Copies of this chain bind each other. A is one copy, B any other.
Amino acid sequence: MTTEIYTASVLQYIPVFYIIWSDDLLSASEINVAENAISEDSSLTLADKKLLKSWLDVNNPPKDSVLKSWKQLIANSGVKLVEHNTYPLTAFSEKVAKHYQGEIPFNECIKNIEVNLGIQPNHYNHLFDVQIDLDPKSAQYSAKHIGSILKGEHAQTIDQFRSTLKDPIFSWQIRRNKEDFRQHVLEQVKFLAQKGYGAMAYSEDYDGTDNMEGYAHIFENMIWADGSLAIKFGVQFGLFGGSIQKLGTKKHHNTYLANAGKASLLGCFAMTETGHGSNVRGIKTTATYNKEKDTIVIHTPGKNDNKEYIGNALHSQMASVFAQLIVNGKNEGVHAILVPLRNNAHELLPGITVEDNGYKLGLNGVDNGKIWFDQVEVPKENLLNKYGTILANGEYYSEIKNPNKRFFTMLGTLVGGRICVARAGLGGAKFALTVAIKHALKRRQFNDSVKIQEDLLMDYPSHQLRLTPLVASAYVYHFTLDKMMSLYCDESQPDKRKIETQVAGLKSIITWYAIDTIQECREACGGKGYLIENRIADLKGDVDIFTTFEGDNNVLLQLAAKGVLSDFKAEFNSAGFSTVLKLLSSQLSDKLSTINPVYSNKTDKNHLYNPKFHVHALEYRTRRLTYTLAMRIRGYIKKGIPSYQAFLKVQTHLMTLGKAYSAELAYKSFLEHTNTITDPDYKTLFEKIGTLHALYEIRKDASWYLEQGYLGGTKSKAIRQRVERLCTELRPHLNTLIDGFGIPDHLMTAPIAN
């Protein structure tokens, strides 16, 4: 083989061109980057420039024989690639040129190509001889800085909480016996209460700091210590304490709230019943007002009408019981009543039966149980009467006349819990990703017979593809949940219907994301991931139920979709259809413009990486699904089909819409946040993260987009390739990105991550 003689200036470009053409992923905007660099390179003669530009013609790429000669030329130079150089490709090129033509200066123009095309060593390290480098890490970004972006204005609260978790009481151990485990978790909860974390979301009058947003953050961090801890904490302070705070009035606050926050009054939240999981309005427990004695009698009518899966049931002194309130023979709908369960000696009070739910798939440090009430009498004052009360004259009174609206107003106040569940799921996903990626950055597997060492797991394309998009999504959901909690806490916006509906959908997609992520991490760690010591196993078991509790995901998605259908004007959670049907017409007028074939086949990098494209695609999906859903429902109704049946017929369509809307909302929330980042380098990084998340999301639903003609086959393929490419581009920053999650060393006990 003859090797052409190139000038030193041209020679420098050879490795770059070899890499470019070994991959076929050159779009117009990328060619543009290379062309600009060449044009601006003053070291090149006009002839050099012409030659180099001739190698950039996609319609007439360099011949295979030319590529082979380049490869030969590079190999013959004997130069080795040093991956930890700041610009490894530019440095490598410089040395290759130097080998043949003597000293030349560092070429900024080549550096620009390397940086702007996102060419990373793992694109090409097997093409060249590599100087073995045991710990190649990029120092371009600081994990600490990323961490501070994630913590935002809650940095101090979060940092303090993370230090608190240094206490030996939180040191992680395998606990197999549920009694021991529960006792230990109870002590952890009390410890945190003493430190003031229990009351955090309550007002200052009750020893709190009124900091619900900070509470959500520490809740996410808590799962890093233990899942059972987070859930028991949430039950005590968020659900039990929260029901007093949100559904009770001043007298309840004064009597109970400070004690609940200190965990000196342990309580549970008794809503779900065995016979009625997702259908809270259908619960059977009754709370009957006894006018003569001015008391309320709590009663479980049937065998399967007991309260079920009630967290803290075995440790509680009191329960916030949801029951049908019957006043003067009339059912006023579901209300919450405080019912003492045990005396000071921790003995059950008369009429109360509690049964342990026993061992579960996870969360065995939480004492879940069933509760039956047999004509249990409590004072009238125990009714949490913010939204409905029994007057002194024994009549029922509520400012909200519509019983439906009243019910959903009460439930709505508890939506903060759903955000927290999603946050905890996200925390679990972050932990599992950290373990899996730290492991993959150390673990080597198989090898190229030419090379000395086996490849890092993290350098396999399939491994990058299975983990990197999940990291990107963790960032997206982080900011999404931040925004939701901030809107939820915004008292200038009292009507929370829209947020409640949005949270319903987001809780679904984020908790599903969490369990999928933890599963992927388990498999990515192989047998090591299966050992309890590496923590992923417990996370899997603990987080699994997040898809079910605080609202079953499938049910929540349908609520979200009904919200979209009725433009968020229907009552939240409404099982009825009449309001939705009334409001349907607004969706039917939505005109979607036809997608231009040029647009549906645009595959240029600049287009695919543009958030405007992502938003357009996600919005288009929601609107199209809304329109077609509205059309279908209207069609059924017109034929005289009962509305219940009509909604059953479109059930899977509803769920698809719920997911689509939530995905759109999540990405837009993320973008909003990214736009506030001032440092341009970090902004670029976050935009890239968002792009990966968005393209991955569009890719997952490519069949729908293709069916609609929104994507052409070529564009769909290009998106798939870009997803893989983005994983490669983010590879050098993966370690920084997971360190950015900020899981402290004292909580990261998994041996494979250390």
Contacts and interface: CB of A to CB of B under 8 A. Distances in A.
23 contacts: A22-B641, A23-B649, A64-B638, A67-B640, A68-B640, A126-B644, A127-B641, A272-B527, A277-B526, A279-B445, A279-B447, A282-B446, A282-B447, A358-B532, A361-B532, A450-B644, A526-B548, A526-B552, A699-B703, A702-B706, A702-B707, A703-B706, A706-B713
A446 B554 CA distance: 13
A531 interface: yes
Given A447-B282, A448-B642, A651 B460 contact: yes
A59 interface: no
Interface string A268-311: 00001000111100100000000000000000000000001100
Interface in A334-373: 357-362
A358 B174 contact: yes
Given A527-B308, A533-B358, A703 B724 contact: no
A549 interface: yes
A446 B362 CA distance: 28
A328 B358 CA distance: 61
A45 interface: no
A716 B724 contact: no
A426 interface: no
A709 interface: yes
Interface in A88-134: 126-127
Shortest 9 CB-CB distances between A and B: which pairs?
A361-B537, A702-B703, A126-B645, A706-B706, A71-B640, A68-B640, A703-B703, A707-B713, A359-B532
A71 B637 CA distance: 12
A532 B176 contact: no
A548 B533 contact: no
Interface string A543-576: 0110111001110000000000000000000011
Contacts of A530: 309, 360-362, 544-545, 548
A651 B462 contact: yes
A652 interface: yes
A554 B527 CA distance: 14
Nearest to A638: B64
A454 interface: yes
Interface in A124-167: 126-127
Interface string A716-749: 1100000010000000000000000000000000
Number of copies: 2
Q: How large is the interface on A (under 10, 10 to 19, 20 to 34, 35 or more residues)?
A: 35 or more
Given A22-B636, A71-B641, A462-B554, 17 more contacts: A72-B640, A127-B641, A177-B177, A278-B446, A358-B531, A361-B537, A449-B644, A462-B651, A519-B519, A527-B545, A527-B548, A541-B541, A702-B707, A703-B706, A706-B716, A707-B713, A707-B716
B462 A655 contact: yes
A583 B21 CA distance: 25
A90 to B, nearest CB: 21
Nearest to A545: B530
A717 B706 contact: no
Contact of A532 (B360, B446, B553): B360
A138 to B, nearest CB: 20
A522 interface: yes
A708 interface: yes
A584 B446 CA distance: 23
Nearest to A575: B446
Nearest to A462: B651
Contacts of A360: 530-532, 537
B527 A67 contact: no
Contact of A461 (B527, B531, B639, B649): B649
A465 interface: yes
A750 to B, nearest CB: 13
B639 A21 contact: yes
A57 interface: no
A353 to B, nearest CB: 18
Interface string A688-710: 00000000000100110011110
A400 interface: no
Nearest to A576: B449
Contacts of A713: 706-709
A541 B538 CA distance: 10
Nearest to A522: B544
A527 B544 contact: no
A244 to B, nearest CB: 24
Nearest to A515: B519
A540 interface: yes
A642 B526 contact: no
A23 B635 CA distance: 10
B707 A707 contact: no
A648 interface: yes
A523 interface: yes
Nearest to A21: B639
Interface in A446-470: 446-450, 454, 460-462, 465
A176 B359 contact: yes
Q: Identify the interface centre among A465, A527, A575: most chain B CB within 10 Å of its CB.
A: A527
A554 B457 CA distance: 12
B652 A465 contact: yes
Contacts of A554: 462
Interface in A493-524: 515, 519, 522-523
Contact of A523 (B448, B462, B547, B575): B547
Interface in A475-495: none
B703 A448 contact: no
Contact of A446 (B70, B279, B450, B708): B279
Contacts of A460: 648, 651
Nearest to A357: B531
